[in-house]
């Protein structure tokens, strides 16, 4: 086993034929065994990056190395190390899940007997074995997503790339998918995840890169990123709404409806003093929750900050 | 596993998948050409052919058109198989299953071509068996017969692949068969000898590649041909080489497949 990083992206660039510059020379490193989040708004360049890594998109410059193997110069060897779960359903809907998995293994040169054993293993683990001989088009949306994970595991990749794997999937299926991927990661497979469900990224991933307009705007550990968040917003359900909201030091109160308030406050502000102040003004809180998860707030802030950055905007206009 | 063994497994996987597909939709892939060719045999061979009498080499008109019709069904089915299968894979994006794998481009091409040739051969055998209900045939040159069928099917499999690579919608894979393949087939000496044509039509016919395939096959089956058999094989090999190079270049550049 090599000690090379699981992924090194080195000054990777992509300009499409219509002139759109999807990647502007990005670089990042993912260590072996990591569970890495790649986040960004729609059109940021995430799928282009994943497309280049999986050789579905030709890069315009730079290189990527998977466990030290160049995607550009040793494509075949690099592809043996990668498993891809794409954003959109991309299997033949008229084939059976078992055949889809066994054929995928065949494309990697895995003999049919071994492929059949693996197909049974992964379809079982993803709770699809009872559907193995049905036509794939008959599967539900969640089952189709799980089938794509099973298919991506057929070559037992050292780097598993999941491009929005839980889009449109119900919570129970999402949890079972994450249970599976967590187990795969614990067994040593490096995982790169893109998702719009930021609570998923927050709870699963150890390191994170945020990409916007083809550039990496943040690349750090999840802990370090979350530690930079200094403001939180709570949603408070109240028994009765006062006619006028009180002015509380260090807290901004907003009324959202007859029984709900939002309280935005510094993370250092203690909740006891908030409740005491609300009680003093006759406001009884019946329940409380975070308005958004912490990563979501940071994500929005980083992306908006990037868009308001005059230097970057100037570059984009010039491009 | 060695690279050769890995590629062989990958090749076997594509060919097997293609054959499973052909058999899964056999009512669309095998039955229609059999019905169409039966009608040709009844109408052109039996009803009209009986009034034409003997044609070149003392063969009945039915005997004369059988090789052409067999080759015509091989060509159209090889072409149709690969263009619909590969474009279908593009349309459903299942082609990405192959593109993200370590499989080299030549394995993808060879796998699809082998699948299409297999359908062409199965249909060819079916049509030949049907022909035997209407006439008797004695294959004069079995090796030439087989090689001409193999090369003819390969040429149009490769052409169908190129068509599928460029196609952006299903209409695009119907255009070539309608406006190019069918006219060339009908004008390729299936129903007549080009020696019957005057100039310049005879000279124009000789730039039609299908003429060489039909005549090579007819030479194999009946021992007669409008063109030199050596020339026919040179033309067919040239087309196989040229189209293979083109198809591999398109795959390498990712035309219609990779952004």
Which position has the token pair 């003997």? B54
Lowest mean pLDDT among A295-299, B3-7, B112-116, B239-243: A295-299
CB B232 within 8 A of CB B210: no
pLDDT at A3: 76
Q: What are phi and psi of A210, to 5 degrees?
A: -115, 130
Q: How far is B252 from chain A (nearest CA, A)?
A: 11
Report whether pLDDT(A255) > 50: yes
Q: How confident is the model at residue A307 (pLDDT cuts 50, 70, 90)?
A: low
- The residue with greater pLDDT, A225 or B89, is B89
pLDDT at A203: 83
- The residue with greater pLDDT, A287 or A2, is A287
pLDDT tens-digit series, residues B47-64 = 888 888 787 778 888 888
The closest alpha carbon to B86, from B165, B202, B178, belongs to B165
| SS3 call for B257 | coil
Residue A216's DSSP bridge partners are A211
Report whether pLDDT(A90) > 80: yes
B interface toward A at CB cutoff 8 Å? 1, 5-7, 9-10, 12-14, 16-17, 20, 24, 88-89, 92-94, 96-104, 254, 258-259
Q: Please tell me which of the candidates B17, B100, B103 has its beta carbon nearest to residue A84.
A: B100
Burial class (CB in 10 A: 0-12, 13-18, 19+), B166: middle
CB A288 within 8 A of CB A236: yes
The closest alpha carbon to A155, from A87, A86, A77, belongs to A77
Report whether pLDDT(B162) > 90: yes
Q: How confident is the model at residue A139 (pLDDT cuts 50, 70, 90)?
A: very high
pLDDT at B235: 94
Residues in B closer than 8 angstroms to A104, CB to CB, are 97, 101
Q: How confident is the model at residue A292 (pLDDT cuts 50, 70, 90)?
A: low
Helix (H), strand (E), coil (C) string for B193-255: CHHHCCCCHHHHHCCCHHHHHHHHHHHHHHCCCCCCHHHHHHHHHHHHHHHHHHHHHHHHHCC
Q: Beta strand A35-39 with A207-212: parallel, antiparallel or unpaired? A: parallel
Report whether pLDDT(A176) > 70: yes
CB A194 within 8 A of CB A46: yes
pLDDT at A228: 72
pLDDT tens-digit series, residues A3-24 = 799 999 999 999 998 888 999 9
pTM of the model: 0.84
């Amino acid at each position: 086993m090599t000690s090379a990083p699981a992924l090194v992206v080195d000054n990777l660039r992509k300009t499409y034929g219509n002139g759109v510059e999807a990647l502007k020379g990005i670089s990042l490193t993912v260590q072996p065994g990591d569970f890495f989040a790649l986040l960004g708004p729609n059109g940021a360049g995430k799928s282009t990056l994943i497309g280049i890594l999986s050789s579905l998109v030709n890069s315009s410059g730079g290189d990527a190395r998977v466990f030290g193997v160049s995607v550009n110069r040793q494509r075949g060897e690099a592809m043996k190390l990668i498993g891809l779960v794409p954003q959109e359903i991309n299997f033949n809907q008229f084939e059976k899940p078992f055949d889809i998995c066994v054929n995928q293994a065949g494309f990697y040169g895995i003999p049919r007997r071994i492929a059949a054993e693996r197909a049974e293993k992964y379809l079982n683990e993803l709770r699809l074995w009872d559907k193995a001989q049905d036509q794939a088009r008959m599967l539900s949306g969640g089952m189709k997503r799980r089938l794509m994970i099973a298919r991506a595991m057929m070559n037992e990749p050292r780097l598993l790339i999941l491009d929005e794997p839980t889009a449109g999937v119900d919570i129970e299926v999402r949890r079972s998918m994450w249970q599976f991927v967590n187990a795969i990661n614990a067994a040593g497979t490096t995982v790169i995840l893109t998702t719009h469900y930021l609570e998923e990224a927050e709870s699963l991933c150890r390191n994170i890169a945020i990409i916007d307009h083809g550039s990496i705007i943040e690349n750090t550990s999840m802990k370090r990123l979350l530690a930079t968040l200094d403001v939180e917003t709570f949603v408070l359900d109240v028994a009765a709404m006062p006619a006028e909201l009180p002015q509380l030091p260090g807290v901004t109160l907003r009324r959202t409806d007859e029984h709900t308030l939002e309280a935005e406050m510094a993370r250092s502000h203690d909740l006891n003093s908030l409740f005491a102040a609300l009680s003093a003004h006759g406001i009884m809180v019946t329940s409380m929750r975070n308005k958004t998860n912490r990563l979501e707030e940071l994500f929005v802030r980083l992306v908006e900050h990037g868009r308001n950055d005059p230097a970057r905007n100037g570059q984009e206009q010039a491009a | 596993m060695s690279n050769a063994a890995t590629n062989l497994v990958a090749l076997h996987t594509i060919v097997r998948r293609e054959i499973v597909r052909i058999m899964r939709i056999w009512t669309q892939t095998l039955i229609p050409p059999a019905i169409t060719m039966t009608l040709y045999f009844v109408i052109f061979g039996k009803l009209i052919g009986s009034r034409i009498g003997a044609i070149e080499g003392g063969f009945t008109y039915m005997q004369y058109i059988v090789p052409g019709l067999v080759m015509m069904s091989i060509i159209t089915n090889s072409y149709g198989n690969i263009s619909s299968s590969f474009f279908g894979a593009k349309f459903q994006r299942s082609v990405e299953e192959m593109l993200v794998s370590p499989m080299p481009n030549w394995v993808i091409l060879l796998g699809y071509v082998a699948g299409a040739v297999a359908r062409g051969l199965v249909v060819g055998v079916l049509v030949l068996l049907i022909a035997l209900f209407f006439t008797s045939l004695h294959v004069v040159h079995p090796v030439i017969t087989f090689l001409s069928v193999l090369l003819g099917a390969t040429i149009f499999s490769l052409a169908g692949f190129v068509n599928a690579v460029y196609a952006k919608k299903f209409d695009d894979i119907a255009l070539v068969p309608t406006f190019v393949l069918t006219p060339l087939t009908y004008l390729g000496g299936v129903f007549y000898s080009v020696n019957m044509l005057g100039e310049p039509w005879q000279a124009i016919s000789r730039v039609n590649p299908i003429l060489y395939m039909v005549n090579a096959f007819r030479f194999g089956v009946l021992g007669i041909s409008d063109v030199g058999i050596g020339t026919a094989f040179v033309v067919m090999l040239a087309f196989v080489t040229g189209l293979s190079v083109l198809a591999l270049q398109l795959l390498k550049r990712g035309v219609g497949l990779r952004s």
